Amino acid sequence: MPIRRKRSSPTSDDPRNKKAKVSNWSRRNELENDFSTKRCIAWFHEYTDTDEDVLGPEGMEKFCEDIGVEPENIVMLCLAWKLDAKAMGFFTKAEWLKGMTEIQCDSISKLQGRLEYLRSMLDDPVHFKNIYRYAYDFARNKDQRSMDVETAKAMLGLLLGKHWPLFGSFHQFIEQSKYKVINKDQWCNILEFSRSILPDLSNYDEDGAWPVLLDEFVEWYRENKSMSS
Amino acid sequence: MMIFRDQVVRHPTIRDHLRTTLLEMVARERRGEVVDRGAVKNACQMLMVLGIDSRNVYEEDFERPFLEQSAEFYKSESQKFLGENSASVYIKKVEARINEEAERATHYLDKSTEEPIVKVLEEELISKHMKTIVEMENSGVVHMLKNNKTDDLACMYKLFIRVPEGLKTMCECISVYLREQGKAIVSEEGEDSKNAITFVQSLLDLKDRFDHFLHESFSDDKQFKQMISKDFEFFININHKSPEYLSLFIDEKLKKGVKGMSEQEIEMVLDKSMVLFRFLQEKDVFERYYKQHLARRLLLNKSGSDDSEKNMISKLKTECGCQFTSKLEGMFKDMTVSNTIMEEFKTSLNQSSVNMAGVDLVVRVLTTGFWPTPNANPRCNIPPSARTAFENFRKFYLNKHSGRMLTLQPQLGSADLNATFYGQKKDDAGGAGAGSKEPRKHIMQVSTYQMCILMLFNKSEKWTFEEIKNETDIQERDLIRAIQSLSVGKVSQRVLHKEPKTKEVEPAHVFTVNDHFTSKLFRVKIQTVAANKGEAEPERKETRVKVDEDRKHEIEAAIVRIMKARKKLQHNVLVAEVTEQLKARFLPSPVIIKKRIEGLIEREYLARTPEDRKVYTYVA
């Protein structure tokens, strides 16, 4: 931003002069502070090969480095959600533009300024639910309808690991089970379960239309708890 | 009058004396003495009258103490009786006492006393001792059932019906005994469960026995009827082979040559079998086996009478609706149509000079979907002559019905082979020249697989099992069974010689023709299937897998049907409705229904409502 120089009054009787200078300055301000589509797109292409429309894994790596966020950080998921990205590890030009416009970011620094805001989305239950649900389609292998269990474990850890006391047990349960995939219904219900069922499972209702996966988890948990206690 | 009552009758001494005298007289009569009934009658009448408009006087001065004394008396009498007598004697005595007291009330007490005194007796003699009577060792209900004491049971029934819970007590005791008997029959360790025929026959006999009791002793009482049904339903479903066994039993009765039964008797047995059928929980398993057995009967021409078969099917239709029986009816139609086609084929053969390689061919064309199909179409290398003959038929058929496909089903076919045995007959007399030196000719009735095996011996005299397997390309399990029946089964059926003579078949074992084979019959039938034992384990497991697959589809169809109609439904309600719809065929567990719901959610037929995850909606 150019240093504002205090002008001494004598020139004030030249209105045109002053006006021109003032508007010049504010226009430059606009230019620097405001969002520029052009700049946004140019920034996008810093991470793509030539003029391609898709930002791939290599570019993503550089991108993360630039903004100083690890790729596994949950904030990246929030960002992807904002961009409504279809596939993990990729941003299309359209997704980038639409999303970045929405958060008014066309540079690394601007985005860094917005990271807190993005992270705060997780604190709102409604937004969190949306991000959680979004994560399923985002992270799964597009060739299949369901998410493979390894990806599921990682994503669940990312999303629920900190706040759900039963996550550790659930992770263990999945490991020893025969499940190879998690379908969308099970995914969504896991969130519901983590939100409504107490850690000691005392309010778990067998008639609650929970997916069989969770019935089995409860059974396993109760069996193993009684064995270890 | 009132003065008389208050001053005289109710004068303390007189009152007491009157009461004591009356009670004493009753007590004496009960002990068997003769008393002046007239006097008592007058006294009672007087008391009644003194009550003017009510029976209070009578009641207070006589009846109440009378009832109390009676209760005491019968309390001790019941203890004594029970200690000294068997249940049936006790019952008769009780009956006698009740009659006596009723008569007493009518004759010389006031009639209105009859009801309360009988109640006292019922209470003291019956109610308080119900369980003791029923469970009395060596004379109670169980003893009576075991020894067919129909009359004693009838007496007990008539007695117990008087008191609340009386019949229930009897029912409970009988139920325990019945279940025990039933469990013994169906138990896997028991002798009965090794053979389908004895299994079912024992159950039918048990049912007959109890139906007899129901009718003769219990007046067809509904409570007893329901108990018997529930008990049968309970134990018949303990053994998972019940549906198969029932089908085998019926199969036996529908086959040709059912020994010693008239048409009417067969009809009656089939009706009784239907009663057992109703108790089965896994009716879909029965359907599957019935189809299999029917197919066998039709294709091997073993049916006794078409009418009996159709009769049985209509019985099933009445029970289960047409879905059950439409395929069975389709099988019959196929048989008729096949006969027509064969005639047309024969005509066309006569008119043309097609080479049938000397094979007299009979083809049955089966519509896929009606008939039981194997898991994967079994392979089989048919000998060239048979193949030629069949190809001719195939051409003929496809000419008539282009666009159809014919696939040979080697596991269902049979063949009649001309066999010549050149060896000497084994002779037990052992004399020289005693045996016939003429080659013996027989017709061997064998399965298609066995035909393939036997025809190989026209090419070469010796074959190892491994070689036979490679040449015929038949599935090992079926091949082993087929060849065992030809070589190590009944002596009268050993067409082949096996080295070594063990029952087990190994790849290196060697087979040759048994030239010493003899039989009294010209036509020798080789049995492969040991029918009445039911399926062997591996096949049974396969059938079970197929049943489970079908059930998955039926459950899903039911779910979709219900949701399409109701649009929105809560989880528990949906599960209940599905169970209700399917219970005529089998009992689905709630867990399996839930799994199917999840499957349908995944395939987007259903969805959970956003407001309440326990409520599903139908996705159009």
Q: Using a CB–CB cutoff of 8 Å, tell me whether B609 touches chain A.
A: no
Rg (CA), chain B: 38
Q: How many whole angstroms separate alpha carbon B51 and alpha carbon B551?
A: 76
Q: Which helix (H) or strand (E) holds B524?
A: strand B523-525
Q: Is the pLDDT of residue B435 over 80?
A: no
pLDDT along chain A (229 residues), means of 10: 51 50 53 77 84 86 89 88 88 89 87 88 90 90 88 91 90 92 93 91 87 92 75
Nearest to A103 by CA among A122, A88, A84, A87: A84
User: Which pairs count as long-range contacts for B100-106, CB under 8 Å and 24+ apart, including other chains?
Assistant: B100/B30, B101/B70, B104/B26, B104/B29
Summarize the confidence of residues B294-317 as an average pLDDT. 87
Measured between CA atoms, the residue of chain A closest to residue B574 is A209
Give B614's contacts in chain A (Cβ within 8 Å).
Answer: 208-209
Give A145's contacts in chain B (Cβ within 8 Å).
Answer: 602
Span B592-605, pLDDT tens digits: 999 999 999 999 99
Q: Hey, are the CB atoms on A184 and B602 less than 8 Å from each other?
A: yes
Nearest to B505 by CA among B490, B525, B527, B485: B485
**CB contacts < 8 A (A, B):** 30
Show Cβ contacts of residue B230 under 8 Å, excluding neighbours closer than 6 positions: B175
What does the pLDDT read at residue B430? 41
What does the pLDDT read at residue B193? 75
Q: Hey, are the CB atoms on A212 and B614 less than 8 Å from each other?
A: no
Both tokens of residue B110? 């006031």
Give A183's contacts in chain B (Cβ within 8 Å).
Answer: 598, 602
Selecting from B591, B601, B614 the residue whose C-beta is nearest the C-beta of A185 gives B601
Q: Using a CB–CB cutoff of 8 Å, tell me whether B598 touches chain A.
A: yes
What does the pLDDT read at residue A227? 65
Q: How many whole angstroms separate alpha carbon A210 and alpha carbon A192?
A: 10
What does the pLDDT read at residue B426? 55
Q: How many whole angstroms separate alpha carbon B428 and alpha carbon A43?
A: 106
Q: Hey, are the CB atoms on B613 and A192 less than 8 Å from each other?
A: yes
Q: How many whole angstroms separate alpha carbon B608 and alpha carbon B620?
A: 14
Q: Using a CB–CB cutoff of 8 Å, tell me whether B579 touches chain A.
A: no
Selecting from B571, B595, B602 the residue whose C-beta is nearest the C-beta of A209 gives B571
Q: Using a CB–CB cutoff of 8 Å, tell me whether B601 touches chain A.
A: yes
Residue A209 to chain B, least CA–CA distance (Å): 5
Q: What percentage of chain B carries pLDDT values higher than 70? A: 96
Banded model confidence at residue B558, pLDDT cuts 50, 70, 90? very high
**More confident: B402 or B273:** B273
Selecting from B595, B602, B613 the residue whose C-beta is nearest the C-beta of A189 gives B613
Give B594's contacts in chain A (Cβ within 8 Å).
Answer: 209, 211-212, 215
Q: Hey, are the CB atoms on B602 and A185 less than 8 Å from each other?
A: yes
Q: How many whole angstroms separate alpha carbon B390 and alpha carbon B89?
A: 78
Selecting from B572, B595, B602 the residue whose C-beta is nearest the C-beta of A212 gives B595
- Adjacency order of strands within the sheet including B496-499: B463-464, B510-513, B496-499
Residue B547 to chain A, least CA–CA distance (Å): 22
Banded model confidence at residue B431, pLDDT cuts 50, 70, 90? very low
Q: Hey, are the CB atoms on B594 and A185 less than 8 Å from each other?
A: no
Q: Hey, are the CB atoms on A212 and B598 less than 8 Å from each other?
A: yes
Q: How many whole angstroms separate alpha carbon B466 and alpha carbon B450?
A: 16
Indicate the residue type of B172: E
Among A133, A146, A184, A185, most B C-beta atoms within 10 A, so best to mutate, is A185
One-character DSSP codes across A178-225: ---EE-HHHHHHHHHHHHHS-TT-TT--TTS---HHHHHHHHHHHHHH
Q: Hey, are the CB atoms on A209 and B613 less than 8 Å from each other?
A: yes
Nearest to B522 by CA among B430, B579, B440: B440
Phi, psi of A144 (to 5 degrees): -115, 165
Lowest pLDDT segment from B103-117, B321-335, B480-494 = B103-117
Q: Using a CB–CB cutoff of 8 Å, tell me whether B602 touches chain A.
A: yes
What does the pLDDT read at residue B542? 86
As for the ipTM of the complex, it is 0.74
Q: Is the pLDDT of residue B428 over 90?
A: no
CA angle B26, B28, B33 (to 5 degrees): 120
What does the pLDDT read at residue B429? 44
Give B608's contacts in chain A (Cβ within 8 Å).
Answer: 185, 209
Do the strands B440-447 and B523-525 form a parallel or antiparallel pair, or are they unpaired?
A: parallel
Q: Which residues pair with B497 in a beta bridge?
A: B512
Selecting from B572, B591, B598 the residue whose C-beta is nearest the C-beta of A207 gives B572
Among B598, B604, B606, B611, most A C-beta atoms within 10 A, so best to mutate, is B598
Indicate the residue type of A23: S
Span B559-610, pLDDT tens digits: 999 999 999 999 999 999 999 999 888 999 999 999 999 999 999 999 999 8
Among B596, B601, B613, most A C-beta atoms within 10 A, so best to mutate, is B613
CA distances from A44 to A50, A82, A94, A103, B195 (A): 11, 16, 10, 15, 79
Q: Hey, are the CB atoms on B601 and A209 less than 8 Å from each other?
A: no
Q: Is the pLDDT of residue B530 over 70?
A: no
Burial of B229 (0-12, 13-18, 19+ CB in 10 A): middle
Q: Hey, are the CB atoms on A208 and B614 less than 8 Å from each other?
A: yes
Q: Using a CB–CB cutoff of 8 Å, tell me whether B428 touches chain A.
A: no
Give A212's contacts in chain B (Cβ within 8 Å).
Answer: 591, 594-595, 598
Nearest to B517 by CA among B457, B599, B473, B603: B457
Q: How many whole angstroms separate alpha carbon A221 and alpha carbon A169?
A: 7
Give A185's contacts in chain B (Cβ within 8 Å).
Answer: 598, 601-602, 608
Measured between CA atoms, the residue of chain B closest to residue A145 is B602
Measured between CA atoms, the residue of chain A closest to residue B576 is A207
Q: Using a CB–CB cutoff of 8 Å, tell me whether B614 touches chain A.
A: yes
What does the pLDDT read at residue B243? 94
What does the pLDDT read at residue A16? 52
pTM over 0.90: no
Residue A92 to chain B, least CA–CA distance (Å): 28
Residue appearing with tokens 């009791």: B213
Residue appearing with tokens 């002069």: A17
Span B48-76, pLDDT tens digits: 777 777 777 777 778 888 888 888 888 88
Nearest to A33 by CA among A94, A143, A107: A107
Phi, psi of B381 (to 5 degrees): -90, 105
Q: How many whole angstroms separate alpha carbon B408 and alpha carbon B410?
A: 6
Phi, psi of B415 (to 5 degrees): -145, 150
Q: Hey, are the CB atoms on A146 and B591 less than 8 Å from each other?
A: no
Summarize the confidence of residues B276-293 as an average pLDDT. 92
Show Cβ contacts of residue B402 under 8 Å, excluding neighbours closer than 6 positions: none
CB B572 within 8 A of CB B581: no
CB B250 within 8 A of CB B273: yes
Q: Hey, are the CB atoms on A183 and B608 less than 8 Å from each other?
A: no
Banded model confidence at residue B378, pLDDT cuts 50, 70, 90? confident
Among A207, A215, A216, A218, most B C-beta atoms within 10 A, so best to mutate, is A207
Lowest pLDDT segment from A80-89, B110-119, B217-226 = B110-119
Summarize the confidence of residues B504-513 as an average pLDDT. 90
Q: Hey, are the CB atoms on B598 and A183 less than 8 Å from each other?
A: yes
Q: Using a CB–CB cutoff of 8 Å, tell me whether B592 touches chain A.
A: no
Q: Hey, are the CB atoms on B602 and A209 less than 8 Å from each other?
A: no
CB B276 within 8 A of CB B200: yes
Q: Hey, are the CB atoms on B602 and A146 less than 8 Å from each other?
A: yes
**Which DSSP symbol is given to B128?**
G
What does the pLDDT read at residue A175? 92
What does the pLDDT read at residue B98? 86
Summarize the confidence of residues B31-57 as an average pLDDT. 78
SS3 B442: strand
The half-sphere exposure of B233 on its side-chain side, counting CA atoms within 13 A, is 12
**B166-186 and B222-236 are packed helices; what angle lies between their axes, rounded to 10 degrees?**
30
Q: Using a CB–CB cutoff of 8 Å, tell me whether B573 touches chain A.
A: no
